[in-house]
Structures are given as C-alpha cells and as structure tokens.
A and B are shown apart, each in its own frame.
Chain A
Amino acid sequence: MAYYLQQTINALTTGSLYALLALGYTMVFGVLRLINFAHGEVCMVGAFVAAFVARAWNQAAGLAPTAEQTWVQAICGFLVAALACGLLGFTIERMAYRPLRKASKLSALITAISISLILQNLAQIQWRINGIQLFGPNGLAFPRIIGTSTPIVWLRDTCGISVVPLELLILGLTAGTLLLLWYIVRYTHMGQAMRAVSISYDAAALMGIPINRTISSTFILGSILAALGGCLYGMNNTKVEPLMGLIPGLKAFVAAVLGGIGNIPGAALGGFMLGIIETAVAAQQIGDVSLSPYRDAVAFVLLIVVLLIRPEGIFGRALPEKV
C-alpha cells in the first residue's frame, strides 16, 4: 500500500514539473502558432540565474556556497530569474521571431531550434561574476530551501511514505500557477487580447488590438513560467547544467500536444497524465524484468496514438484547414 502511495506522490511531482513547462509551450503556441523549442533553454537560464543568486547570497553571508538557502533568498532568486527570463523571452521574440512572423512556419520552427542550440552552447562558457560562477559546462549546485529536503515525519509514521516538503511546494505552486494563468487569460485585458489574437491574428489587428504588445507579453509571461519551472526543476535535481532543459522541454512538448496544444488546462492535464503514465510503466515488474527502460518509449508511443486518433489533442478544438 505504502509502495503505491509513494509512487503516486512520485508521479504527481514528475507530472507537476512537466505541466509547468507545458503551460509555457501551450501559451506561445496558442497565440503565435509557433512551437517555441527554446522554451526548455529559457527554463535552464532561469535555473542558472536563481542558483547563482542563492550561492552568491550564501557567500556574502559568509556561508558555504552550497549551504541551504532561506525562503527570502529563494524568493529573491526566483524574482531575479523571472526578470532575466522575461527579458530573454522578450529579446528572443523581438530579434528572432518577429522578423519571421510573415515567413513560412518552417523558418520560424528552424529559428526556434537554433535559438535553443545557441542558448545551450552559450551556457557552457565559463562566466563568473565576482568569482562566483554564473554559467559553465560543469553542473553547479542549486541549494535547497532550509527544511524542504527532510522527509515529513508525520507522513512517514502514519503512512510509511517519504515525502519532502519540496514536493508539496512543487505541487502547490503548479496548482497556483494554473489558477493564476486561468484568471489572467479569462479576466484581464491582456488575457482578452491574447485570446483574440489566438482566434484570429488578422481580425484582432483590424479591431485595433495591439498585436505586437500582446505577443511580447505572452512571451514574457511564458518565460516567467519557464523561470519558475527551472527553479523548481533545479531545486528538485539539486543542480543546474547547460543541457538540463533539453529532455524536460521535449517531455513538456509531448504533454502540451497530449492535452491539445494551445489549451491551458489541457497542457496541465497532459503534464500530469505523462507523469502518471511514465511512473505507472516504470513501477511495473514482470517477473525479474523491470519495465523502467520502457517508460519513455511508452510515453512517446502514447503521443503517436493520440496524434493518430485525435490530432487536436484531448482538449483541443479541431481547426478547419485554412487555405
């Protein structure tokens, strides 16, 4: 029993991390019809920046750089990371995607892939500020928040499962972000503009909706989500490295497609589904053979099946082909 409960917790944590990233993917796609493959790398940059703030703060306070950080430090780290990622997202859109907005979708897609490669390789250059490493090819420590990495005693004694507060934090923040995003898209002017651009780019422009500003704010919002995802991902993995955005970026893409790309609740649901399916497969044992090597295979086969049966995703609306 405890075993299944523990695996459920594992599944939900994995799912939350995928869902957070999938939200960013889906928002950009909804507005621009562009698969922003650089999303995972923006998340990586966010993680590096937040980890740097934590380590620099520790150093300034006379602690070991890898010492656990306080909540204040973590929140400041996230804010700096959000600022950096927002700026990065804005720049990427302004410099790389906007000039190509009227070009073919393929050009934009190729540009997205190159942005992702550029960021991966730039992050491998040693970059220090006051002797503290910001970027570099080696993994760097991402300090945990004090008290979030010791299992909760009460749950261990009553249910026999090991849950660290960090996992609850990840779950809570994912749920909170989802609600906040839903509110923004549903009830704010910016959200209304986003929805309008998403329905029809040209009609929205004719109605006097500031297209460029709307798209920029979508990118900034998506990048701030990536920063949050990166912080939590880095904290969960206790380290940051230049290629950390690659696999989660891919998985989040699958999650977004699964849920119906462009659809916000769909992306979150897709993320959780992917996390649960992966864990369910990996947790199986047939005789002596563990099924853990097949978890990615099953996840991607599922993607193919969904695309075959329901190309618009579980929650997606089928769009008539525009000629």
Chain B
Amino acid sequence: MTRLTWMYVVCVGVLVGITGLGLSACGEGQVQEQVIILGGMGPLTGRNSTFGQSTQQGIQLAESEINAQGGVLGKKVRIIFADTESRSDRAALAAGKLINEDKVVGIIGSVTSGESLGAAAQVQQARIPMLSPTSTNPKVTQQGDFIFRSCFNDTYQGRVIATYAARELKLTRAAILKDIGDDYSTGLADAIRAEFIRLGGQIVAEESYSGSEATYKTQLTKIADSKPEIIFTPIYYSAGVTIIRQARELGIMVPFMGGDGLHYDETITLGGKDVEGCYVVSHFINSDPDPKVQKFVADYRVKFSNEPNVLAALGYDAAKIMFAALQRAGTTEGTKLRDCLAQTTNYPGVTGMITFDAQRNAQKSAVVLTIHAGKFEMLKRIAPDPQ
C-alpha cells in the first residue's frame, strides 16, 4: 500500500513538473517577439570542457555588453548555449535542438573542428548562418555557404609557424611530433611540413602518437637521433607539456614550436622551466597594450574574476561580429543575415582586424609568442596573406 502511495505521489509530481515546464516554455514563446535568440554551442562537458566553458564566457560577455547598449534592432539579444559533450555526433544533436526547439536565428559555434564538422550539415540544411569562433580546420567552412569562421585556419597557422622558423629563426632541420587521432593536429602538421619544405627546410623526422600515451620517449628518442634544430608540436597543451618535459629528460634541448593548442596558461604552470624558450603561434595575447584588448581583459576580469584566454577572446569577437551583421541586415532572416555576415570587412576585434574572404574564412593576423620567465611574450605580429 505504502508503495502504491509513493508511486502515486511520484507520478503526480512528474505530471505537475511537466505541465509546469510546458507553461514556462509557452511563456517564453510569447517573450520571443521582443528578443532575438541566438544559439551558442561548444563542449561544456567531456574532455574539451574547459575549451567550451572559456568560449561560452567570452560570448556571455559580448551578450551582456550588447544588451547594456540596448540590444540589436531595438530588441534584447539572448544566447542559448547547447552542450556538445566534446563529441562530433552530439554536436549535430545540439545544433538540431538549437534550430528546431529554440528557433535560433544564428549559431556561434562550435568550438573544436570535429564538432563544427559534425554540426555543419544540419545548419546548412536549415539555412541558418553558423559562425565558428575557434575551429581552425580548413574543411569546416567548405561544408556549405552558411558556415563561417572568425579565426584563421590551420593552413595559414601552419604557414606562419614554418615561415617564422625558417626565416626569422633561420633553421633548416626540423622534426614534427603530432597526434594521429586528431584532425587539428594532422591538418596543422601537413601545413607546417609543406611550407617548411617549400622554404628550403628539411623535415628530418616525423613521429606520431595517438591520444595520450604512458610515455612519449620512444618517439622522442627517434627524434633525438635525427638531430633537429627545432621540433614542431602541432598539438594541445595536455600532451604537449608531458612531451616537452620528457624530451628535456632525454637531453633534447632544442626549442619546441606549436600552434594555438599550446597557448594556455597550463602550458606554463605544468611545464615549468622546461617550456622556457618555446614558441607558440596564436590569435591574441592578453598583455597586448592595444586599448580595446585591455578593456576586454578588464571587463572579463570583473565579470568572471579570472583572466581571459585565447578561446574567450575568439568567442567574444565572434558574438560581436554576429551582432554587427544582424544590425546591418535589419532582419533575422537566414539568407539576408548570411549575406551581411559575408560582407564583414575590417571588423576591429580584440583578436585583430577581421575580414571575411569569398570562402567565408576570416583573413586576420597571427601573433608569434615565446615563453619567457613564466609568461607568454609577443615576438611579432604577422599580417594576413594578401588576397
């Protein structure tokens, strides 16, 4: 009897809950007239959760700023963020939810290239513009004419890395260590190799690993045997710091050079003195004296009480570019918004001047950083390729 009573209570509770939710959803439906709903997506849980959370915070800062200024087209902006769980198949589901349930007019996302590739087909079919703040794999924007990116791609990033090593550091013998299971890593490695060889350099060893390993010393011992002057590591910091520390143990003292995947504070906190003198190519540095960067860093600190990283800055810029395009379009209609987004020219973002080319990729500058005395320091700003 008591059991039955309990079941009854639970059933009633669930029913009341569902009705309550339904009511509140209807309520939101009515408010929809006064707000513009945009979608955001990225990995809030799973192995890349910190990437998604940083990007989301950048987007949230842009959202609260635009609403403080009165919103877009006379309406407030609301950004609904969907979790991709660090999986490309879930990214497609997240995009579906944003499009069909939340009725978003545009999507800012996703964060990693794999997720953006997973979501692209669905977004393209719904004819809603998607602007990825951070996906650097060239294939992302080739998925359709509604897919944009507001960061540079890996082809460009790889060229900057190889050019800096060959021209500025004047090195000719390089090794590559990449993660064979990661699109970002293999794509960036291809770009670095092609450009370094074109500039007359020689790749003396190319080794790989998959995901994470107990030790990377087997590959590093082979690399040491080929006597490179620099080791390119187009990988994320997580494996990166272990690789650099194990290399130092093997007596490999040459510098390492990687892309934006290494531009995290953890590279320094975990790598300690072993990462000193390494080079990193990235989008932005928060010690940039540019007043708009300093304003962004200060505002971010106030809102989230920590330092913005590169993903937060990219998310912030992407959201602002989307707002500007909405303003120019004067409507939330997908095709019109897409056309206005494509016309983005010389947008002054905190990560540099942003202009979209005909392939919907951002043409923008990169920065070359080095790690010195426990900090990232800017060595050079590299202008985008001439069109």
Q: Which residue numbers of A lie inside 8 Å of B, CB to CB?
A: 3, 6-7, 10-11, 13-14, 17-18, 66, 121, 124, 137-141, 149, 151, 156, 162, 164, 233, 236-239, 241, 243-244, 247-248, 251, 275, 278-279, 282-283, 285, 290, 292-293, 295-296
Contact = CB atoms under 8 A, between A and B. Distances in A.
A7 B221 contact: yes
Interface residues of B, number: 34
A243 B209 contact: no
A292 B45 contact: no
Contacts of A244: 212
Interface string B199-237: 000000111111111110111011001000000000001
Given A17-B214, A238-B270, A296-B210, A285 B222 contact: yes
Interface stretch (B244-252, B282-290, B336-344): B244-252
Of A238, A241, A244, the most chain B CB neighbours within 10 A belong to A238
Contacts of B238: 139, 239, 241
A233 B215 CA distance: 9
B210 A13 contact: no
Interface in B326-378: none
The 5 A-B residue pairs with the shortest CB-CB distance, nearest first, are A10-B217, A282-B218, A293-B180, A162-B250, A137-B49
Of B213, B242, B245, the most chain A CB neighbours within 10 A belong to B213
Of A121, A239, A283, A296, the most chain B CB neighbours within 10 A belong to A239
Given A162-B249, A290-B205, A293-B210, A141 B269 contact: yes
Contact of B218 (A10, A141, A156, A248): A10
Contact of A233 (B210, B214, B219, B245): B214
B266 interface: yes
A318 to B, nearest CB: 31
Given A151-B251, A292-B207, A139 B215 contact: no
**Main SS class of interface, A:** helix
A278 B45 CA distance: 32
Contacts of A233: 214
B156 to A, nearest CB: 26
A235 to B, nearest CB: 11
A303 B172 CA distance: 42
Nearest to B222: A283
A236 B215 contact: yes
Nearest to B215: A14
B221 A292 contact: no
B241 interface: yes
Given A137-B50, A138-B266, A239-B241, A248 B214 contact: yes
A21 B49 CA distance: 27
Contacts of A121: 45
B272 interface: yes
B3 interface: no
Interface of B: 45, 47, 49-50, 180, 205-215, 217-219, 221-222, 225, 237-238, 241-242, 245, 249-251, 266, 269-270, 272
A279 B218 contact: yes
Contacts of A139: 237-238, 241, 266, 270
A93 B49 CA distance: 30
Contacts of B225: 3
A243 B47 contact: yes
A156 to B, nearest CB: 7
B217 A290 contact: no
A167 to B, nearest CB: 9
A141 B270 contact: yes
Contacts of B213: 247
Contact of A164 (B49, B205, B249, B270): B249
A11 to B, nearest CB: 8
A14 B215 CA distance: 6
A290 B214 contact: no
Given A121-B45, A137-B50, A244-B212, 19 more contacts: A3-B221, A3-B225, A11-B218, A17-B215, A66-B272, A124-B49, A237-B214, A239-B238, A239-B242, A239-B270, A247-B212, A247-B213, A251-B214, A283-B222, A290-B207, A292-B207, A292-B209, A292-B218, A293-B208
Contacts of A66: 269-270, 272
B66 to A, nearest CB: 29
Nearest to A285: B222
A7 B250 contact: no
27 contacts: A6-B217, A6-B221, A6-B250, A13-B214, A14-B214, A14-B215, A17-B214, A124-B45, A124-B49, A139-B270, A141-B270, A151-B251, A162-B249, A162-B250, A236-B215, A239-B238, A241-B238, A247-B212, A247-B213, A275-B214, A279-B218, A283-B221, A290-B206, A292-B207, A292-B219, A293-B180, A293-B208
Contacts of B47: 243
Contact of A236 (B214, B218, B219): B214
Contact of B242 (A14, A238, A279): A238
A58 B84 CA distance: 37
B339 to A, nearest CB: 39
Contacts of A149: 245, 249
Contacts of A18: 214
A244 B239 CA distance: 11
Contacts of A279: 218
A147 B250 CA distance: 15
A141 B275 CA distance: 14
